[in-house]
Structures are given as structure tokens and as C-alpha cells.
Amino acid sequence: MTATQFRILTLNIHKGFATGPRRLVLSHIREHLRASKANIVFLQEVVGDNRRHRERLQQWPDDSQMEFLADSVWSHHAYGKNAIYQHGHHGNAILSELPFVSWDNIDASFVNFSQRGFLHGTIADGVHLLCIHLGLFERERRLQTLHLIDYINRTVPEGAPMIIAGDLNDWRRTTHRTLKDSLGLCEAHEIVHGKCAETFPAFFPMLAMDRLYLRGFSIQHCERIAGDNWRDFSDHCALMADVTLTSG
């Protein structure tokens, strides 16, 4: 990797459990993330701590899921704690081969029973990374989208290179249109293939839920990663792209 070329990947890891019969598949996830050769990885539904699982599951990692998945491959990582409960918490994470200049977690919760946030990190060349996981309800997503746009307009320099990735739950593409129009973004899979990728459910993808939005990058390649090896460990497919920085 150079400071201008990146392979980026986004995946909702389903808290480390396979769909169907409930079994922990974190080692399987780590194996496939490594095999992807991604330099920057955006993850959603990452468990920071869960005392019940730690006590009951022999394979539960000693460290957080983020640290377990990053291991020695991604030396730099950030975690945003969003959903907090008595026995633990989970949220978004970014794994990076390049160091963070700064990072912050921004609350984006608009309904009492749905705790959400935007994880915002900045790396070299002023590249801004935002990992997001929007809510399940249309009104909730609309408020979160407006909050995200306002936050970016206030904190990210105009025209600065930016990647927004994650699980948007935006099957109607309402947020998709708003982000493109308001922030001058392009969506990687749409640029390469003419439409957003269907990524959910993984066993038979029908809904375009996961996205890779970019500003200040050219896109060489983008693919939905599916098949037996991937769909065994999440209810979402992964989305991956090769991009080159064109502004900074």
C-alpha cells in the first residue's frame, strides 16, 4: 500500500456470530478479513465487551473483538461504543494500516431503543473515514442522515477526501440520494457496476444495505464478497473496493 492507494472493505459482523445456528465465528471472520488484503476495514456490530459471553463461551477473546480481529495486521484501530447494556456494549470499528491523526465517536441516537453513532477518524493526507450503522426506521434514518451531513459540514474541510462506509439499512435508497446530492459523494459499487450492491441477506442478497461512499478518490474496482466462505459468518455480504486518492 502507498499513501494514495487503498483497498477498503466494509462488513457488519453480526457481533461475531454466524447466522442460523448460533455459534461464534470470530476466527473465521479474522481469517477472511486478512485474506482480503484490505488496508482499511469498516466494521459494524462489533462487541467491545460482553460479560455473559466471556463467562459462557470458551472461544470468546480475552481482548475486545476489535483487537482480536486487528491482531498484527492492522496496527491502528478505533472503536465507537454505541449500544450500552448491563453486561457490555457494541458499536462500530475502523481498522487501518496507517495511523490515525485523530478520531471521535458521535452520538446519532434518535429513538430510545436504538443506540447508534458515527465513528470518525482522520489518517494521513487529511483523509476522513466515517463508519456508520443507521437505524431500522425511515424517520430515524432521515434524522441520522441530516445529523451526519451537518456534522461533516461543520468538521470536515470542504472538498477534503472522505470515505463513508457501513450498513445504512437504506433499502429505499433515500439516504443514498441525499448523501450524494448534499456532500458530493459517489458510491463505489454504483460507479463500477451501475447500481448499489445487494448485500442482505447474505444467503440470498436482495437488498442494497451496505455502501462505500467516496469523495476525492478514483475507483478502480468494487465487488460484493459473497459465496459460501463469506456468508457463513454474517447476515450481510462484505463490500470491497480498490481506490486511489486524487485530492488531499
Q: What is the DSSP string of 66-119?
A: HHHHHTTT--EEEEEEEEEETTEEEEEEEEESSPEEEEEEEE---BTTB--EEE
Question: The domain spanning residue 63 has which CATH number?
Answer: 3.60.10.10
**Cell numbers that stand for 8 in this block:** 477498503
> Domains in the chain: how many in total?
1
Instruction: Please give the full DSSP string across 141-184, using - where no structure is assigned.
Output: HHHHHHHHHHHHHHHSPTT--EEEEEE---TT-HHHHHHHHHH-
**Res 57: pLDDT:** 84
**Res 10: pLDDT:** 98
For residue 40, what are the domain limits? 5-245
* Rounded average pLDDT per 10-residue block, the chain, 248 residues: 84 83 82 94 90 82 90 92 76 96 93 84 95 94 96 96 97 95 96 96 91 97 80 83 87
